[in-house]
Amino acid sequence: MLKGRHLIDPEDFSLEELDSLFALADSIIKDEDSFRNLCNGKILATLFYEPSTRTRFSFEAAMLRLGGQVVGFSEPGSSSVMKGESIPDTIRTVGSYVDIIAMRHPKEGAPKYASYYSPVPIINAGDGGHQHPTQTLTDLLTIKEVKGNFSNLTIGLCGDLKFGRTVHSLIKAMSRYENIKFVLISPNELRIPKYIKTEILDGKAIDYAEVERLEEVIDSLDILYMTRVQKERFFNEADYIRLKDSYILDREKLKLAKKDLSILHPLPRVNEISYEVDEDPRACYFDQLKYGMYIRMALISKLLGVM
């Protein structure tokens, strides 16, 4: 039962609860018209303290497509946050007006903190370099649609594995399934945080390897999850400039890959996937962003208890 729950961490939901979300998303994809009035009279607030295109628009489009309405801000400068209002007071206020809140914040743990004060469900729409659970739901739905299941996969995660919160959430989520191997491809400075290794990979005895060169391992991958280097999380611009083009996936590198490789990317992309790759049938990232809206439609419906 997901009614009234918060979604803060990818592991907040059981595998059975995730299956029920994917099944609902699949039904919506197949017959969206049947779900048009599901959220009539309900209101979603999108509180985005950090920039976003996909997450905010897909949440808002999801609610509107379900017949609900949307309020919120896309940057906190237009709200009383600028006058110094705290997260608890903002959440108590907004929670008195709406039925559900999606919140993105640069500080790790901010949505969890908000959930302690919220009278309505809080959805973490990304907290600093920490977690991005609805991107993970998007990634999982994409994997289910393109691979048919979540087991027996070798998943390459490439790019900024230090600051890339989508990667942290995806490792957490996929490590719950059978016979998953991760290949972690990054420059030395952008390796996966130690806590992910000790708590999840070593903690659950998951098979993984860390390498620096994509060309060395691309032929072994079933899924290649590319990420951009996260400029906004660097303290030093010179470091960002040095590392930003560490990986550029192009046609030449793809010649080494499996014919049934699936290329995912949470987007936005900067330089890490050449535009020529968009034409390759293995490129799934534009389907992936559409699945993001459908899984958010399913999530909103379940948390509001209308499905």
The answer to whether residue 53 forms part of the interface with ligand CP (CB under 6 A) is yes
- Identify whether the C-beta of residue 134 lies closer than 8 Å to the C-beta of residue 295: yes
| Catalytic residue selected from 30, 83, 213, 259 | 83
Residue placing its CB nearer to ligand CP in the complex, 38 or 266: 266
Reference 72, options 110, 99, 36, 39; nearest CA is 99
Residue placing its CB nearer to ligand CP in the complex, 64 or 206: 64
Shortest spacing between CB 204 and ligand CP, in angstroms: 26
Shortest spacing between CB 270 and ligand CP, in angstroms: 12
Task: Give the interface segment with ligand CP, choosing from 49-57, 69-77, 79-87, 239-247 (CB under 6 A).
Answer: 49-57
Active-site residue, 55 included: yes
Residue placing its CB nearer to ligand CP in the complex, 146 or 307: 146
- For residues 288, 22, 203, 219, the Cα torsion angle rounded to the nearest 10 degrees is -40
Interface mask toward ligand CP for 78-117; x: CB under 6 A: ----------------------------------------
In angstroms, the Cα distances linking 42 to 14, 22, 32, 142, 298 are: 26, 22, 18, 28, 15
Reference 207, options 262, 152, 162; nearest CA is 152
Q: Supply 212's token pair.
A: 């620096």
Among 24, 28, 35, 55, binds ligand CP (CB under 6 A): 55
Instruction: Find all residues with CB under 8 Å of 207, minimum gap 6, and list them.
Output: 180, 181, 182
- Identify whether the C-beta of residue 254 lies closer than 8 Å to the C-beta of residue 280: yes
Catalytic (active-site) positions: 54-55, 83, 104, 132
Residue ranges in contact with ligand CP by CB under 6 A: 52-55, 126, 135, 266-268
